[in-house]
Amino acid sequence: MTAQSLSPPSEPHSDNQSLGATFRELEVSRRQAVATLFKSIVVLAICISIGTTPLPYVFEFTSTGSGSGEITAFLGRPMSEVGDIASVFLIGWPLVWIVAGFWWFRSRGLNARSRYLQTFKTRALNAMCRRHFPTLRYEPGKGMDWRIFDSCNLFAHGYSDYYSEDRFSGRWGSTDVAFAEAVARRRYRKLTLKGFETVTETYFQGLIFIADFHKHFNGTTRLIPKGEDIPDARSEQPAELENPFFESFFETSTTDQVEVRYLLSTSMLERFISLHDHFPKLRARFHNESLLLLLPSRLDRFEPSLFRHAANRVQFDQFVEDLDNCLNVVDELNLNLRIWSKV
């Protein structure tokens, strides 16, 4: 696939020149990063080769017949005199080279790749966001704060590790939004045939999406996938809604049995069913006049490739498409519909 220049004819000429200069600088950085990565791979291969190659100039081998042999001397001295020292050297020699090779590969090759990708996102993708989604702010190095995920009470257990990046925030239509990719893992003890083992489970990967809801409300309502463990919330009670199809997907709990029917109107139930088609096992919380959505997805969005030209059109179009798909949540739930005094 050939790279195509990113210079839409409808944009001002000065803007095109600025973006073009950015891509030229990024392409130089990309090629340098690729070269550094391949050099580090060569160094790693050499270190592994040295570490796994016998050392006849250090050890003396004597054949015992049938194609086998044994080590009889170390640096010219019989093994009986230097057995312990030779053993340490024999074990440590390959380990030192292999560890050194992997250290070089990680500190040089992978770091060069990470630096380029982060620079690309900060400069190029940020510029594209300002151009095509001017009401949104893109912060690639930031994510949704762990406190938001920790306090949403949409899982029956806590997390051991949490990571979030690629945060977008701003206004889409009439709705204030903020969203980012996130990964949450937990570690727990599990009984297996070998006894108890520590298991690490990635139980959430996807988008954390927060939007200003288009109706006033005071309570808390949660939607949990049907059949999943229900988080402990003493002030909430199960809510039965008049849509069996919706209830086949979600368990609903609320602090206000009247308000939940105001929030989850007949049309809103249908919209959540439609959203569920795109994001199976989604979870939602209505709280503090906002809607928080956990949208599971295995996609790793907004990630450029080291092996594509910096100005590759396909890479740019994918970024715009990914962001469009995220913002479609607002349209899917019709959150831009402002009623009563909610503006």
Per residue in 255-313, pLDDT tens? 999 999 999 999 999 999 999 999 999 999 999 999 999 999 998 899 999 999 999 98
CA 16 – CA 43 distance, rounded (Å): 40
Sorting pLDDT into bands at 50, 70 and 90, what band is 12?
very low
pLDDT at 163: 95
pTM above 0.85, yes or no: no
Residue 1 clears pLDDT 50, i.e. is over it: no
pLDDT at 19: 76
Residues of the chain with pLDDT > 70, as a percent, come to 81
pLDDT at 280: 93
Mean pLDDT for the chain? 84
CA 123 – CA 308 distance, rounded (Å): 16
The residue-averaged pLDDT of 231-260 equals 90
Per residue in 14-37, pLDDT tens?
556 677 888 899 999 999 999 999
Look at 31 and 12; give whichever has higher pLDDT.
31
pLDDT at 179: 97
Per residue in 178-224, pLDDT tens?
999 999 999 988 887 777 888 899 999 999 999 999 888 999 999 99
Residue 88 clears pLDDT 60, i.e. is over it: no
CA 12 – CA 310 distance, rounded (Å): 21
pLDDT at 197: 86
